[in-house]
């Protein structure tokens, strides 16, 4: 996902990959933030645990917007007593209809042991059929690598995320190998 900063410069950042295999889920994100042709940061943390360490989330897009969305989402999780689909639906609904939230530019991937969801500000709430989701500039590379690894191996969710993110960092100039990886087993 690209974030427009001005008419002259764009920030390109983030590859987030989530893999769910059985009751194991892993979410990984790279650490690179790039402004135009310059790497501004190598160790950004775009993946975090939420709700009593039972939910993992990752974001792509504007960091300030994503952090505001994480905070709002955590409130929805608390109100839903950890019910991930209900909290995600409530966030997507608010994000779509609230005038202030509507301006936020980010995507979220959230997961627990039962569900893996992508949430967008356009009201999209998607649970992938194959247990694989990727967002951000490097998302298509990570998703392709994860699909190949998942279909042709017995690797764990964590191993698939790690290997797919490494492959992505070899292809996508906006993705590095400074991977934050969180797993629920």
Block residue for tokens 């797919």: 164
Structure tokens at 107: 């995507």
Q: Residues with catalytic annotation?
A: 14
Which one-letter DSSP state was computed for residue 182? Answer: E
Render the burial of 35-66: b for 16+ CB within 10 Å, e for the rest.
eeeeeeeeebebbbebbeeebbbbbbbbbebb
Say how far apart CA 41 and CA 146 lie, in whole Å: 25
Closest CA to 25 of 49, 42, 2, 9: 49
Is 80 exposed, middle or buried (CB count within 10 Å of its CB: 0-12, 13-18, 19+)?
A: middle
Say how far apart CA 150 and CA 37 lie, in whole Å: 33
């Amino acid at each position: 996902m690209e974030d427009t900063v001005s008419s002259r410069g764009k920030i390109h950042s983030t590859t987030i990959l989530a893999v769910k295999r059985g009751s194991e889920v892993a979410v990984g994100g790279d650490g690179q933030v790039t402004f135009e042709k310059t790497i501004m940061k190598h160790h950004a943390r775009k993946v975090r645990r939420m709700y009593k360490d039972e939910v993992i989330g990752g974001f792509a897009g504007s960091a300030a917007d994503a952090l505001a969305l994480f905070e709002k989402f955590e409130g929805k999780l608390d109100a839903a007593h950890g019910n991930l689909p209900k909290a995600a639906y409530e966030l997507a609904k608010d994000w779509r209809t609230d005038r202030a939230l509507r301006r936020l530019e980010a995507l979220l991937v959230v997961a627990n042991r039962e569900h893996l969801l992508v949430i967008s500000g356009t009201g999209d709430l998607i649970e992938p059929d194959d247990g694989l989701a990727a967002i951000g500039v490097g998302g298509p590379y990570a998703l392709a690598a994860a699909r190949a690894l998942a279909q042709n191996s017995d690797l764990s969710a964590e191993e698939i995320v790690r290997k797919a993110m490494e492959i992505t960092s070899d292809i996508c100039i906006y993705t590095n190998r400074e991977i934050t990886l969180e797993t629920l087993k």
